[in-house]
Amino acid sequence: MRPGDQVTVTRCHHAGTAALVGDLAAAGDDLVGVVLLGDTQYEQGRDAEYASFDETWGRAIDRASVATLPATGNHEYADPDPAPPGCRLDDGAQHACGFERYFGEAPFTGTATDGHASYARLFGRGARHPLAVIVLDVGRCEQDPAACAAGGPVATFLARALHDPAVNPPSACTVLAWHQAPWSDYGHGDLAFVGPVWRAAFVAGGARPDLVLNGHDHLYARMPALGPDGQAEPDGIVQVIAGAGGREVVGLPFAGDPPGRTAFADTGRFGVVRVGWDATRGRLATAFVTEDGDAVDPQRIDCR
């Protein structure tokens, strides 16, 4: 939230969720990184607003001494101030320069040459099943849908990264992360402009990702494995929406198996998604860790 906003039952819990980073690290979870799924600071990601982030999530990640993997959200691209000289995340009509200044250029250097904040990181290089994390600059696409179109820069970067063995080795467990969820039964609903990016993930064989992490909708929701058009498909990709990090939650006191396409949702609690990685067995494990420490909806995903 913005500096000075008040904590209520359903709003402004970024300090509480940030504390979970330290709790997970202290519990011996051997954290390797924290993925930030966009809209990291409301309302427009300006420099002054990032002071609020720095006091909570920024400090928590620093203390945990793990990699920071930030994704852009639509709010980062809502900064109305003129873009400063040298900002890479400026396409003329919009920019995410506050985001770039806060997190620095290091995550993006050498992985996106067209001014897009898409990048990839490989953990456990040399392990039997390393962990590939590919972060996509989908945040800009709400105002610039062409950036996420088929053949556009975001989908093109994704296809290139998935087929690059230096980024996504054949034996890797592969996670994609971006802000706007393509498929959702809540909040913003299905978003057609993200569809080409989702479909670009459906490459052949072991290069296909095992898990997609999204935000945007302010709740926790897990979809079943979904196919290219968002249909339930046993050989599809699991999508998890982790949007309960602080600003607000839907607020309805519900947690369980909802009707319809969603496999599980928690609409009333703040929290983070923990993704466990087993480099020996080739397995991911997910759970929604609530603000009070409960691990909800534990799931296991065997990597391809």
Q: What are the tens digits of pLDDT across the range 22-55?
A: 787 776 667 899 999 999 999 888 888 898 899 9
Q: 161 near 134, Cβ under 8 Å?
A: yes
d(CA 138, CA 195): 11
Please give the Cα distance from 133 to 96 (Å, whole number): 22
What pLDDT is attached to residue 113? Answer: 43
Is the pLDDT at 132 greater than 70? The verdict is: yes
Whether 9 maps to a domain, the answer reads no
Summarised one tens digit per residue, pLDDT across range 143-171 is 999 999 999 999 999 999 999 999 999 99
**Is residue 112 very low, low, confident or very high in pLDDT (cuts 50, 70, 90)?**
very low
Q: What is the pTM of this model?
A: 0.94
Residue 36 within a domain: yes
Report the C-alpha gap between 38 and 191 in whole angstroms: 16
Q: Which of 60-64, 90-94, 185-189 has the lowest mean pLDDT?
A: 90-94
pLDDT attached to residue 106:
58
Pairing of strands 255-256, 264-266: antiparallel
Whether residue 48 lies inside any domain: the answer is yes
Domain membership of residue 23 (yes or no) is yes
User: Over pLDDT 90: what percentage of the chain?
Assistant: 62
For 125, the domain range is: 14-302
Is 114 contained in some domain? yes
What CATH number does the domain containing 52 carry? 3.60.21.10
DSSP H or E stretch at residue 61: helix 59-64
Backbone angles phi, psi at 40, to 5 degrees: -65, -25
- Alpha-carbon distance of 253 to 238, in angstroms, equals 25
The alpha carbon torsion through 258, 264, 268, 274 (nearest 10 deg) reads: 180
**Is pLDDT at 2 greater than 70 in this prediction?**
no
Q: What is the reported pLDDT for 253?
A: 61
CA terminus-to-terminus distance, the chain: 38
pLDDT of residue 156: 93
Burial pattern 171-180, b for ≥16 Cβ within 10 A else e, equals ebbbbbbbbb
For residue 236, being part of any structural domain is answered with: yes
If one counts the domains in the chain, the total is 1
Q: Is residue 8 part of a domain?
A: no
Asked if the structure places residue 4 within a domain, the reply is no
